[in-house]
Structure 1
């Protein structure tokens, strides 16, 4: 499938080393003033080459809107766009075109289709995320008008993790450092750790945490279409994502009911909860509280060390990967997590009748 969503949909196309990547957004409400500058801002947050702890591939990632916008306003028709590739170095992959790289999709793509684009992973490359960021940037502009905000941040890199919950931080500070961590002291530790891993020609994983504020009560269904189930589906579709949890998540397994239960109170005439251990979702339906969740990312599979593998001829070989790659995907994954969350929230709010077709 290359399309995600039900009412607000995104169809993606393109490869890492092709002419361009692009997409078609359908279901965006009409009459929304759409800022291309805000879309570009989100792409700039994800683009390669933005700091010394990311890949050295340099891409401008300039979005070109092809349809669906007239005089700066959405028309309700499909929004088509492309982002051109300009800094491909396909020759870096010539030496591994017949190899199945460890922990990559090379083997499974070859077996499924009988052919694969070995240049940078082709369709399975995280470069495809530029399309999702555009889809999310458009969704965010709709949600912003409805008072919904989304804050992602790096909460862990390798063994270095934030100890406090998101309530203790000013999430507006996330963009003030290269690792996108709201605690400047911990951010520096994370940055130094990534640099150390780079020097060792290795990679490291981590966790992106995210908070969604302003989603009204009543979004989601009580059985098979639970809000958290759809949210997990969107998150686990991100490259390198290995785990998803919301609210107290796996920590809830060690808690007692008396600790985990959320006490209801009245606040300014509204039903609220004191602790929100549930993460803003009760019985699959949003409660009006902050929705908070975490996504775990694996270490980047491409490392600069000698590795053993097999090739498509069934021979066991050793190789050292070439090309330009992140040592830790987490900082650049933050805007991708936010984008996927924005598309999911808009899609489910449309389904729940919380957004008119004209805003």
Structure 2
């Protein structure tokens, strides 16, 4: 199967199935000397693991990560970092009724059409549980970015029709409610709405917004490797994401050029700054030094208990009611997944950017070398 690897220099390869023995990832390209321990990764995985509230699947998994290689005495060695999370609470019998039936909204039909075979136990590689590997890899990337003064922060912007009010925005509130929404009042309304939909055996979608602070100007390329294009690919690869927009996004199509253009001003900390940020921190595919801002739209969870029309592999019409343990909304657990994909993408483009200018290469390699007993100092 192709398509399990992402990145050029900072490269990740995920593996494993929802009901297999485990889920894992190999991170290649991480420089040696980065401080890293399992607790750093576990902090991120704890934000996406199941069973945290009634708004998540009741599957009980500790999602405990093990680092198998690439770290020695608390620091990366420059070799591939391999990590695994073991599956411990599979209930494959819950999927016995869909062996020959295609679930609406799932990848059952398309997977079968491509390979002539599918792992029906929770969707196999198509399962949202695959995002464990992304989050583990993203935690490493986030640690790398943090060492450069770059932070990635995502949160729930909306759940169904309820959207966080910018006037009440409080990032500290994000971790105080079950929806990871930075608006206490709207979060309470959204929870009530979600409970109502759950009682109706239905599911809900929403939007995750993400900000990346500290990215210097000049990251990304102007044609096929645009920063925003790379972010879009990474984020759109998350299961259930059906839309991506950066900056003002689709609202820009309704604006005038005089309204949408970001005027440049003399900065206080930098020589050049922008008066506004309609572009979302990226111009011509290259970061402009301001905050990178984007949003991802998630569809409602396709696994619902209400009867749905479908067909068998033989094309016979039938009806199905999804059994098992499923999230009525994926958005809260997807917040950290969006962060992870943004961090992985940014780390890769930062490393790729090191070869963009001859003067930077010359500056790096022609510094005065002082050989000491400990090695070469640059």
What residue in structure 2 maps to residue 243 of structure 1? 243
Partner of 1:331, secondary structure, is: helix
Q: Within 2, Cα distance between the matches of 1:38 and 1:31?
A: 15
Partner of 2:69, secondary structure, is: coil
What residue in structure 1 maps to residue 169 of structure 2? 169
Deviating beyond 4 angstroms after TM superposition, the runs of 4 or more aligned structure 1 residues are none
Structure 1 residue 173, shift from structure 2 partner: 2.9
What residue in structure 1 maps to residue 67 of structure 2? 65
What residue in structure 2 maps to residue 253 of structure 1? 253
What residue in structure 1 maps to residue 25 of structure 2? 23
Q: Within 1, Cα distance between the matches of 2:205 and 2:15?
A: 27
Any conservation in 2 of the 1:151–1:171 contact (CA below 8 Å)? Answer: no
Q: Give 1:136-155 correspondences, 5 Å limit.
A: 136-155=138-157
Deviations 1:204-233 (A, max 9, x none): 110000000001110011122111111100
Q: Within 1, Cα distance between the matches of 2:113 and 2:58?
A: 31
Structure 1 residue 105, shift from structure 2 partner: 0.7
Once the two structures are overlaid, the 10-residue window that deviates more, 197-206 or 171-180, is 171-180
What residue in structure 2 maps to residue 319 of structure 1? 320
What residue in structure 1 maps to residue 202 of structure 2? 202
What residue in structure 2 maps to residue 217 of structure 1? 217
What residue in structure 1 maps to residue 342 of structure 2? 341
What residue in structure 2 maps to residue 264 of structure 1? 264
Where does the alignment leave 5 or more consecutive residues of structure 2 unmatched?
A: 365-376
Any conservation in 2 of the 1:280–1:286 contact (CA below 8 Å)? Answer: yes
Q: Within 2, Cα distance between the matches of 1:231 and 1:111?
A: 28
Structure 1 residue 284, shift from structure 2 partner: 0.9
1:35 aligns with 2:42: no
Aligned residues: 356
Any conservation in 1 of the 2:5–2:14 contact (CA below 8 Å)? Answer: yes
Q: Within 2, Cα distance between the matches of 1:33 and 1:172?
A: 26
Partner of 1:102, secondary structure, is: coil
What residue in structure 2 maps to residue 294 of structure 1? 295
Q: Within 2, Cα distance between the matches of 1:258 and 1:276?
A: 13
Q: Within 2, Cα distance between the matches of 1:35 and 1:169?
A: 33
Q: Within 2, Cα distance between the matches of 1:44 and 1:194?
A: 22
What RMSD in Å do the two structures reach over aligned CA positions? 1.6
Q: Within 1, Cα distance between the matches of 2:196 and 2:266?
A: 50
Deviations 1:175-234 (A, max 9, x none): 111100111111111111111111111001100000000011100111221111111000
Structure 1 residue 61, shift from structure 2 partner: 0.2
Once the two structures are overlaid, the 10-residue window that deviates more, 128-137 or 33-42, is 33-42
Partner of 2:123, secondary structure, is: helix
What residue in structure 1 maps to residue 369 of structure 2? none
Any conservation in 2 of the 1:208–1:295 contact (CA below 8 Å)? Answer: yes
Structure 1 residue 351, shift from structure 2 partner: 0.3
What residue in structure 2 maps to residue 118 of structure 1? 120
Partner of 1:108, secondary structure, is: helix
Q: Within 2, Cα distance between the matches of 1:81 and 1:102?
A: 33
